[in-house]
Amino acid sequence: MPQSKKRKHHHDFHPPANAEKSAKNKSAVPAGIIFFTLVGAGIAFFAAGSDPLWLVLGAVAGAAGGYFFGRQVDKSFSKK
């Protein structure tokens, strides 16, 4: 069907260039890493005392778990 020349045409909305992209910049991975690192260090502290080796190993194990947990959360929330 022909379009009227007197009617205003619809324009696509383009956000400003400096607008923050909310969906692409947000991730659960850093929050998961920080949280699980603290939990792992806490568990290591209560299990083995204040030995630095066990604290570091607990923190590293917690960080690895937090990374995989954060990736799984991102994956599950990206499905629609």
Give 63's contacts (C-beta < 8 A, 6+ positions apart).
33, 36, 37, 40
pLDDT grade, residue 63 (50/70/90)?
A: very high
Q: Report helix, strand and coil shares of the chain as percent, to nearest 5.
A: 65, 0, 35
The answer to whether residues 37 and 58 touch, using CB atoms and an 8 Å cutoff, is no
Both ends of the chain: CA-CA distance in Å?
35
Task: Count Cβ neighbours within 10 Å for each residue of 46-57 and write b for 16 or more, e otherwise.
Answer: eeeeeeeebbee
pLDDT grade, residue 13 (50/70/90)?
A: confident
Q: What pTM was computed for the model?
A: 0.66
